[in-house]
């Protein structure tokens, strides 16, 4: 299978390249024609560092007719690449959030549907074995009905190494756009796609690790109410300082009728103290969630089945983010229309 990684703008691009490069069944192509000149973390310089074949232009990539593509551009540039991939007959795995506007997300979903190709949204935490167990326990009735969820997705400021994250035109927003979607997607999976009814948000830049974020929020709290009665609260921030033991983390507390369940996507496996830097450090345990997500995508491409989470899941979580920003503007809860 020929797979192309389109753009190195996102932090996860290098991870996906490493994982795809090492698979015998994959012929990997990479391209990043929008890379800033001389940036060692982008473009041909990164491709050579990672040992990946590189194309200088989008035209050159699509002339090679990839079977599938992974879109890792700045958020506002997803639509162009997804539409072009669909037109060439390539299946698409797109980084989250799916887009920065609902119109763009709908256009991407429509383009893939018309072309008969699959569209998957990059939510790797869905593939945690612990989350699979949580989802199964809820589905079989072991936990009873789900009453509330409190999720926290905190991390370091990505704008330190990738400045576009702090540009609202390219990113669509700051920590709320970057981190709310992961928790929202997990709740989406637990509720089998039930769409949110109301969103309320508060945010500021008080929690800050010192990175370049003058135009976007660095922390926020988003409350989401669902038609069935569930209330979810999402703590999203870029609050981890550069010397934090890990890049970030994601955890949820689920209160159900019969039990309270604590879920940690990246539990500590090894911990310690670095005497040179004077800081603590720990390594996360568990499965490689990015690898598991790529397995799902590649299997869907091979078999022709629908991947999960798909483009519609990406759209539902995007609508929550857009409602959160509307709530920030108005200071009021925002009702989401029933689109089922």
> Per residue, what are the HEC states of 26-65?
CEEEEECCCCCCCCCCCHHHHHHHHCCCEECCHHHHHHCC
| Pair type for strands 268-274 and 260-264 | unpaired
Q: How far apart are CA 257 and CA 236, in angstroms?
A: 26
Radius of gyration in angstroms for the set of CA atoms belonging to the chain, rounded to a whole number: 20
- The reported pLDDT for the residue numbered 50 is 96
Question: Could you tell me if 179 and 204 are in contact, meaning their C-beta atoms sit under 8 angstroms apart?
Answer: no
- Positive or negative CA dihedral for 105, 107, 110, 115? negative
| CA angle centred on 198, ends 194 and 204, rounded to 5° | 120
What integer pLDDT is reported at residue 338 of this predicted model? 82
Dist CA 42 CA 45 (whole Å): 6
User: Distances in Å between the alpha carbon of 229 and those of 194, 196, 197, 303?
Assistant: 11, 10, 10, 37
Which residues, other chains included, contact 275 with Cβ-Cβ below 8 Å and sequence gap of 6+?
none
Q: Identify any residues that bridge with 219 across adjacent strands, giving them in sequence order.
A: 204, 237
CA angle 30, 23, 56 (to 5 degrees): 10
Q: Provide the pLDDT for residue 209.
A: 58
Work out whether strand 119-121 and strand 334-335 pair parallel, antiparallel, or are unpaired: unpaired
What is the pLDDT, as a whole number, of residue 78? 98
pLDDT of residue 274: 66
Torsion of CA 158, 164, 169, 170, to 10 degrees: -90
Predicted local confidence at residue 11, as pLDDT: 93
| Tens-digit pLDDT profile for residues 74-116 | 999 999 999 999 999 999 999 999 999 999 999 999 999 999 9
- Would you tell me how many other CB atoms lie within 10 Å of the CB of residue 12? 16
CA distance 181 to 319: 10
**What is the C-alpha to C-alpha distance for residues 254 and 7, in angstroms, rounded to an integer?**
37
Identify the pLDDT of residue 243.
72
Q: Residue 20, class by beta-carbon neighbours within 10 Å (0-12 exposed, 13-18 middle, 19+ buried)?
A: buried
The string of DSSP codes covering 221-276 is EEEEE-TTS-EEEEEEEEEE-TTSSSSEEEEEEEEESS-EEEEESS-EEEEEEETT
CA distance 282 to 196: 36
pLDDT per residue, tens digit, the chain (340 aa), is 999 999 999 999 999 999 999 999 999 999 999 998 888 889 999 999 999 999 999 999 999 999 999 999 999 999 999 999 999 999 999 999 999 999 999 999 999 999 999 999 999 999 999 999 999 999 999 999 999 999 999 998 898 889 999 999 999 999 999 999 999 999 999 999 999 999 999 999 887 656 666 689 999 999 999 999 999 999 999 988 777 767 778 999 999 999 999 999 987 666 676 666 666 666 666 689 999 999 999 999 999 999 999 999 999 999 999 999 999 999 999 999 886 4
Predicted confidence at residue 273, as pLDDT, reads 67
For residue 237, the model assigns a pLDDT of 94
Q: What is the pLDDT of residue 210?
A: 60
| Nearest Cα to Cα of residue 161 among 292, 42, 287 | 42
Residues 62, 89: contact at Cβ < 8 Å? no
């Amino acid at each position: 299978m020929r797979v192309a990684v389109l753009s190195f703008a996102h932090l996860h691009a290098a991870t996906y390249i490493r994982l795809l490069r090492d698979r015998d069944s994959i012929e990997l192509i990479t391209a990043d024609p929008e890379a800033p000149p001389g940036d060692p973390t982008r473009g041909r310089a990164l491709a050579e560092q990672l040992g990946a074949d590189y194309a200088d232009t989008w035209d050159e990539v699509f002339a090679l007719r990839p079977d599938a593509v992974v879109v890792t551009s700045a958020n506002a540039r997803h639509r162009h690449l997804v539409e072009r991939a669909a037109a060439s007959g390539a299946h698409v795995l797109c980084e989250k959030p799916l887009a920065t506007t609902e119109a763009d997300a709908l256009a991407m979903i429509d383009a893939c549907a018309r072309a008969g190709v699959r569209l998957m949204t990059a939510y790797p935490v869905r593939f945690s074995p612990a989350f699979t167990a949580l989802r199964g326990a809820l589905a079989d009735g072991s936990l009873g009905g789900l009453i509330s969820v409190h999720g926290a997705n905190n991390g370091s400021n990505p704008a330190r190494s990738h400045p576009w994250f702090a540009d609202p035109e390219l990113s669509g927003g700051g920590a709320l756009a970057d981190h709310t979607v992961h928790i929202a997607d997990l709740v989406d999976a637990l509720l089998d796609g039930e769409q949110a009814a109301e969103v309320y948000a508060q945010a500021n830049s008080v929690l800050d690790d010192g990175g370049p974020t003058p135009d976007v929020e660095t922390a926020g709290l988003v409350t989401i109410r669902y038609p069935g009665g569930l209330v979810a609260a999402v703590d999203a921030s870029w609050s981890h300082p550069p010397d934090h033991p890990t890049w970030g983390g994601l955890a949820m507390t689920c209160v159900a009728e019969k039990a309270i369940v604590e879920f940690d996507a990246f539990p500590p496996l090894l911990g310690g103290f670095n005497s040179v830097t004077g800081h603590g450090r720990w390594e996360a345990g568990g499965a490689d969630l990015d690898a598991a997500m790529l397995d799902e995508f590649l299997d869907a491409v091979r078999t022709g089945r629908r991947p999960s989470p798909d483009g519609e899941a990406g759209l539902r979580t995007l609508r929550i983010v857009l409602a959160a920003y509307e709530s920030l503007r108005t200071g009021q809860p925002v009702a989401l229309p029933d689109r089922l």
